[in-house]
Amino acid sequence: MAAPSGRALEGRLLGRWHNSEARERLLDWREERSRTPWPASRQRLAGEAPNVAIVVVNWNTRLLIAQLVFSLFRILGRDQFAQIVVVDNGSSDGSRRLLEILGRDGLIHLIANPRQRYHGPALNQGLSWLAERQRELPCPEQTDYVWVLDSDVVVLRRDTLLEAVSVLERERAAAVAQAAWHPHHQREMLGLYSLLLDPGLAWKAPMPPFREHGDPSAALQAALRHQNKKLVSFPFVDGGYLLHVGRGTLAHVAKTGAAANRYFAWATKHNEPHFAGASEGHIAYAAFLELINRELPDLTPERLVDACCASPLLTVARSA
């Protein structure tokens, strides 16, 4: 009898070690093995603006990912970022078709997974794709920083990325995001929903990749602290730079009764928007929805492309 392949053996081991510490170690090892580390960072010319790439994971959040992409092009502005990479984990709600059209028309780069790989591994795919591409690009087009966003984020201000990058560079930080107290870790942690990374510091050994569990960036943040790399808080939500609607994917899991999803039990009790604790988040979101519904009354892939490519840039009305 032929010996099992490496992938088949991993599958057997994962099945045997379901929910065990050994299973987690194997998953981490597999992600580390497949990760492409970031090559040497380029030297920017004096006064040259940094290139920022955006990485987003999507699974059955068609309306939310459309809102995010719209906000990046029409509120933040196309000149503020170099690339959007969307990793889709086998969506079946129409968002795959939406993303394919966006990719066809050059608005995003789509990594289309045939199955659910979950958040952490999909983020690793996006970062590794950028790292591989880094070696092929001429120096002026290479990525300097990577902005990880959840699909249920909406950008509200044109200066969002400009201000966050300024803090990252001034502090010489490895990562910038809004910090909040995490009861499990008993310390403040940076929010993964909007995390700006310097991949030259954060995306190579000994720093681990994102993990597949409920807190994908916890190990990375711990390793960065251990290596004395700066993690700096930036008020993405508190400063009104963006909204994190929250629980977008969990809402789909709960609504559709997707019991096969690893986080189904959690989703049944945690599926309402939380707006990252912003007291007037629902008001700001309503103002954004009014704007996008005026610009895009009928959400089709083609009309989303047209709306993203239209001008001028838009401003979300702020509450008094």
pLDDT digits (tens, 9 = 90+) for 180-231: 998 888 899 999 999 999 999 999 999 999 999 889 999 999 999 999 999 9
Q: Which residue's structure tokens are 């190579």? A: 204
Whether 15 shows a pLDDT value over 70: the answer reads no
Strand, helix or coil for residue 113: strand
Do 240 and 264 contact (CB within 8 A), yes or no?
Answer: no
pLDDT digits (tens, 9 = 90+) for 244-303: 999 999 999 999 999 999 999 999 999 999 999 999 999 999 999 999 999 999 999 999
Distance between CA atoms of residues 124 and 33, nearest Å:
11
Question: Any residues with CB less than 8 A from the CB of 257 and at least 6 apart, and which?
Answer: none
Within 35-111, residue ranges assigned H as helices are 62-71, 95-104
Q: Cα 112–153–156 angle (5° rounding)?
A: 130
Whether 238 shows a pLDDT value over 80: the answer reads yes
Q: What domains are defined for the chain?
A: 52-245+297-309 (3.90.550.10)
Calculate what percentage of the chain has a pLDDT beyond 70. 92
Query: Cis ω on the peptide bond leading into residue 138 (within 30° of 0)?
Result: no
Q: Mean pLDDT over all residues of the chain?
A: 92
Across 67-75, average pLDDT:
98
Whether 7 shows a pLDDT value over 70: the answer reads no
Whether 1 shows a pLDDT value over 70: the answer reads no
Whether 19 shows a pLDDT value over 80: the answer reads no
Q: What DSSP string runs through 171-187?
A: HT-SEEE-EEEETTTTE
Calculate what percentage of the chain has a pLDDT beyond 90. 83
Whether 6 shows a pLDDT value over 70: the answer reads no
Across 19-28, average pLDDT:
71
In this prediction, residue 213 carries a pLDDT of: 82
